[in-house]
Amino acid sequence: MLFSKILNHLGRYVMMMGTAISRPERFSMYYKETMRQMIDIGIGSLVIVGLISIFIGAVTAVQFAYQLDGTLVPRYYIGYIVRDSTIIELAPTITCLVLAGKVGSNIAAEIGGMRQKEHIDAMEIMGVNTAAYLITPKLLAALVVIPMLVALAAFISIIGGYLASVPAGLMSDAEYVQGLRSFFLARNINLMFVKSAVFAFILTTVSSYQGYYVKGGSIELGKASTNAVVFSDILILLADYMIAVLFT
Amino acid sequence: MIRTENIFKSFDENEVLKGITTEFYKGKTNLIIGRSGAGKTVLLKILVGLFQPTSGKVFYDNTDFFDLNKKQVRSIRMKVGMLFQASALFDSMTVEENIRFPLDMFTTMTKKEKLDRVNYCLERVSLGGVNAKYPSEISGGMQKRVGIARAIVLDPQYLFCDEPNSGLDPKTALVIDELIRDITIENNITTIINTHDMNSVMEIGDNILLLYQGKVAWQGNNTEVLHSDNEILQDFIFASPFLQRLRKAALEKQG
């Protein structure tokens, strides 16, 4: 029963994406919508991403300073740990989990609301490919903007680690910078961008799916919005594990 | 002209439409009436292609709609306008943007040509000057008229209206009815209206289809409504004792 339900959802998701990825009726309309989505997702998420990132960096630095205190591990390692844990794991994963909550629920509610108010039917009757018009601009915008947000999150996290450790006297300015500059692997940056693109795809399309097929009233819309966040989060963590296995 | 052939539609075990065969004529206001749950909205949604029938065919001027590929469906849909029960205007767009949306999406008109067309449609529904307002800033009747303006902006050959008068006062409902009838005659289009409104039936019912328990119970025009002996029709149209007295008086007057 559960298996057939999962297969049913998977089939509808694939069909929706098949319809969504097709030639636009008019490029200018899709371009305009993509720009609007970039502003919504990008600018609209700057504050929350900035806030969580600074704390992620700060907590990582303080926690590792505590763990390594009294050991033979050099203190500059804290900078190195903050940098790598942020770039490889915390910035892409935590940022995208938070964005699944903020952007994903918003996408599900927006598309679901349009379904309930017959806006999608109205567009269908006009001859608009609604899956393409409603989902593709969001997907393109997310694929461009979310990796940028993740890169910004990594940068702010590193600053957060600095602010939590250097002024507090956990280490010197020079030690933190030395840590940041040690053992750097460029492929970790690639890994961060791969993760953020995959997570962006998941959170946008899963949320769109939840909204696009919503039925019923406001309770169902609320459920769709919640499901968008829950399923996006689960799939992001699953994808995170798979990418980790594949790339390391 | 739109023709249906033996349309059946079921949702799981529930059979909503049971063999609808009928015609909707060009240049006339075709009304689908019936009690709640009779299958009116389902039939309308099948006619516009939002629902697929379980079996049966829908012909748009001899073209079998459900036999077309995606591209052909789109070309038919370019000829279709629809007014929704709740207007279905896009909340985040102004009135002008709502009406311009199909033009932006499907035409290569210049900005000025689009604006002229939007203004013409707004004037046609007596709403000139509300371009910059948002749907939430205008009344329900005005929203319906904007919905009509959007439905006719691409010069459709087929106009569908789902409960155009629901939630409107009788006077505004008459304005909407007259507007739909005038547009139908002016543009010689096939208009299909799904309605509960008895004023509409008597005022603009050129071709009336009564659905009862998923079947066609009666078909005729607004003049024939008065003289018909069909019990289901009389029960539905003249439901109250007051309306029954009115019918009797009208028949006596006509001798």
Q: Which residues contact B170 (CB under 8 A, 6 or more apart)?
A: B199
List the single residue in B75, B91, B105 with the smallest CB-CB distance to A126.
Answer: B105
Contact B137, B146 (CB under 8 A): no
Residue of A nearest to B45 (CA): A121
Output the CA–CA distances (angstroms, integers) from residue B200 to A182, A221, B91, B193, B203, in the order listed: 80, 35, 28, 9, 5
> A134 contacts in B (CB within 8 Å)?
none
Please state the rounded mean pLDDT for residues A196-222.
Answer: 95
* Domain count along chain A: 1
Residues in chain B: 255
- Is residue A218 in a domain? yes
Q: How far is A198 from chain B (nearest CA, A)?
A: 30
- Is residue A38 in a domain? no
| Cβ–Cβ gap B84/A122 under 8 Å | yes
Angstrom distance (rounded) from CA A139 to CA A237: 19
Contact A179, A76 (CB under 8 A): yes
- Is residue A141 in a domain? yes
- Is residue A36 in a domain? no
Please state the rounded mean pLDDT for residues A84-95.
Answer: 95
Please state the rounded mean pLDDT for residues A7-12.
Answer: 94
Please state the rounded mean pLDDT for residues A92-120.
Answer: 95
Per residue in A168-194, pLDDT (tens digit) is: 888 899 999 999 999 999 999 999 999
pLDDT of residue B161: 93
In which band, very low, low, confident or very high, does the pLDDT at A103 lie, cut at 50, 70 and 90? very high
Q: Is B8 exposed, middle or buried (0-12, 13-18, 19+ CB in 10 A)?
A: middle
Backbone angles phi, psi at B157, to 5 degrees: -95, -15
pLDDT of residue B187: 92
Query: What residue segments make up the domains of chain B, in order of their start?
Result: 2-79+156-254, 90-155
- Is residue A238 in a domain? yes
Which among A154, A47, A46, A162 is positioned nearest to A91, based on CA atoms?
A154
- Is residue A42 in a domain? no
Domain extent, residue A209, equals 47-247
* Pairs of residues, one from chain A and one from chain B, whose beta carbons lie less than 8 Å apart: 49
> Regarding beta strands B158-162 and B80-83, do their DSSP bridges make them parallel or antiparallel, or are they unpaired?
parallel
Residue of B nearest to A118 (CA): B88
In which band, very low, low, confident or very high, does the pLDDT at A157 lie, cut at 50, 70 and 90? very high
Please state the rounded mean pLDDT for residues B24-51.
Answer: 92
> A128 contacts in B (CB within 8 Å)?
105
Output the CA–CA distances (angstroms, integers) from residue A201 to A3, A70, A141, A194, B164, in the order listed: 24, 44, 10, 11, 41
Tell me: pLDDT of A248 over 80: no
What CATH topology corresponds to B2-79+156-254? Rossmann fold (3.40.50)
Q: Which residues contact A143 (CB under 8 A, 6 or more apart)?
A: A197, A200, A201, A204
H-state helical runs in A39-129 = 44-68, 77-85, 91-99, 105-116, 119-126
Positive or negative torsion for Cα B37, B42, B44, B45? positive
Contact B233, B227 (CB under 8 A): no
- If DSSP codes are grouped into helix, strand and coil, which group holds residue A90? helix
Angstrom distance (rounded) from CA B132 to CA B98: 10
- Is residue A15 in a domain? no
Tell me: pLDDT of B129 over 90: no
End-to-end CA separation in angstroms for chain B: 35
- If DSSP codes are grouped into helix, strand and coil, which group holds residue B220? strand
Mutation for testing the A interface, residue in B46, B105, B108, B160 having most A CBs under 10 Å: B105
- Mean per-residue pLDDT over chain B, rounded: 91
Please state the rounded mean pLDDT for residues A73-94.
Answer: 93
Residue of A nearest to B77 (CA): A127
Question: How far, rounded to the nearest angstrom, does the alpha carbon of residue A12 sit from its chain's CA centroid?
Answer: 23
CA angle A16, A140, B101 (to 5 degrees): 75
| Cβ–Cβ gap B82/A122 under 8 Å | yes
Angstrom distance (rounded) from CA B82 to CA A114: 16
Q: Is A191 exposed, middle or buried (0-12, 13-18, 19+ CB in 10 A)?
A: buried
Please state the rounded mean pLDDT for residues A143-156.
Answer: 97
Task: Extract the tokens encoding A244.
Answer: 């980790």
